[in-house]
Homo-oligomer: A and B are copies of this chain.
């Protein structure tokens, strides 16, 4: 199942907090870090997992790396979940 990776990515509370941070706007890693009580290394790891699940994208700007939500994937997720439980097929 392709949704497995997405669900696994969303299952961690720290990654949910990251997503919440990014709801309003894109942010550099250092800004995200201020909302979580983990090291930068651990945060980097979580961002990597979110990126591989295609839930966020990143771009470099100078020394900083900005992360933003991929809202299109969020839509696909909603569709997937709906289909998962809706009868028919």
8 nearest interchain CB pairs?
A7-B11, A74-B85, A8-B11, A7-B10, A7-B7, A1-B16, A1-B13, A4-B11
Number of copies: 2
Query: Max chain B CB contacts within 10 Å: which of A3, A77, A84?
Result: A84
Q: How many residues of A contact B (CB 8 A)?
A: 25
Residues of chain B lying within 8 A (CB to CB) of residue A86: 23
Decide: A16 and B84 in contact? CB cutoff 8 A: yes
Residues of chain B lying within 8 A (CB to CB) of residue A77: 81
Complex formed: what's the CA distance from A11 to B11 in Å?
8
Residues of chain B lying within 8 A (CB to CB) of residue A4: 11-13, 16
